[in-house]
Amino acid sequence: RQTATAEKADLYLPIRPGTDLALLNGLLHLLVKNDAIDRDFIARSTTGWEAMEPFLDEYAPQTVAEITGLPVEDILTAARWIAEAGEWMSLWTMGLNQSIAGTWNTNALCNLHLATGAICRPGSGPFSLTGQPNAMGGREMGYM
C-alpha cells in the first residue's frame, strides 16, 4: 500500500506478498550479469560462491517481474543503484524475517552485501530493525 514512507521513496517497490526472495535474488542476478560484484571480496570472505551464479540464472528480470508484479524497469533501476552506490546499507523490519521464507529472505539480502563487498565498512551493511525490547541491543553488541 502507498504509505507516507513510500511516498517519500525515490524508488518504491511494492512487491506481491511473499515474493521478497525473488526480488533479492533477481537483484543479485543483475549485479552478477553486469559484473557489479566484488570478486576479490567474494574469494577472500565467502564460501560456496561457485554454486551461486548458476543458481541465479533462474532470476532473470522478466521472470522476477512476473513473480513480484514489479515493472522490469524498476528492478533494473534498483540493481543499477546498488551497483553505483559504493557504500550502501539495507534496513529492514520484521516483515522480511517473519515468514515461512524469512531465513532465506535475510540470507538473500546479506548475499547482496557480500557479493558487492558492502559489509563491515562504514556506511555499508545489512541492518535489521527489530521490534522486541532488547533484540536490537543484542545485534548492536554483536552476540546474535
Q: Which residue bears the cell 524475517?
A: 97
C-alpha–C-alpha distance, residues 32 and 10, integer Å: 24
Residues sharing a CB contact under 8 Å with residue 87, sequence separation 6 or more, in sequence order: 118, 121, 122, 123, 124
pLDDT tens per residue across span 68-80: 999 999 999 999 9
Instruction: Annotate 39-68 with three-state secondary structure.
Output: HHHHHHHCCCHHHHHHHHCCCCHHHHHHHH
> What pTM did the predictor assign?
0.89
Average pLDDT taken over every residue of the chain: 92
Averaged pLDDT, 99-107: 92
Domain ranges, residue 93 = 4-141
Domain total of the chain: 1
CATH of the domain at 47: 3.40.228.10
